[in-house]
Amino acid sequence: MIAMNRVKTTGLLVGLTLLFILVGKLLGGHQGVVVAFILASVMNLGAYWFSDKIVLSMYGAREVTPEQAPELYQIVHELSLRAGIPMPKVYMIDTETPNAFATGRSPQHAAVAVTHGIMRLLNREELSGVIGHELAHVYHRDTLISTVAATIAGAISMLANMAQWAMIFGGFGNNEEEEGEGGMGLAGNLVMIIVAPIAAMVIQMAISRSREYLADEGGARLCGHPLYLANALKKIAVGVDRIPMAANPGTAHLFIMNPLSGGGLFKLFSTHPPIEDRIARLEAMALRQGLV
């Protein structure tokens, strides 16, 4: 299952890259592709490099010591050793919404943050499942993967914006000569300008969902029992619905449970898989291991 999720992530990243090349060729030309990719890379590199400080500050996270949160600190320490990664910094967020996230540009610069709400809601076994999930994100370097995906998707959006402005000012794909040379024409360019960024976002969100499945599996192995995490997810889902969190959509992918909710088309752009699917996979994992 883990190998399958890795293959899926790789395939999605390849698909996103191919989409970028196609859109660049059709809309931006060689110069447009280079400019868009450089701008997107600089923006996302900055976000990647300072991601831990930005998101921790955004939610008012406070670093805690072993004396202030002994049980939490011990769980993080034990599972970090088991995962073979450096001990991340431990933070607490003052909100009753049950949730948690990991951030940082590498295992050597990682941080794990949990809310007061999740600490009150979960028992030790369930909390170990949540921490295992977050440390799996750190181990798999998911911050780097999401940054690569965001860079390519951002470059596609920039190309579409460049093409839109070029059309407004009159010289983009709007003559018979360009169509005869293989261009798409005005109608084709309009479709690409609208469809390409949406397609890029859909692929980017699919990559995020794939990494969540991978972190669930890795976290279940780290904590020692898939049902620890499955039971935690059940409780967190109820808690998130009961006490909503004023979260920034740009950071929703970091949390173990999407703090934003919605149905219908929203699911296509969700950063997390359906909670029912995640729980079912963990329960099936426990069954295969003979733990139930």
Active site residues: 134
User: How many CB atoms are located within 10 Å of the residue 195 CB?
Assistant: 12
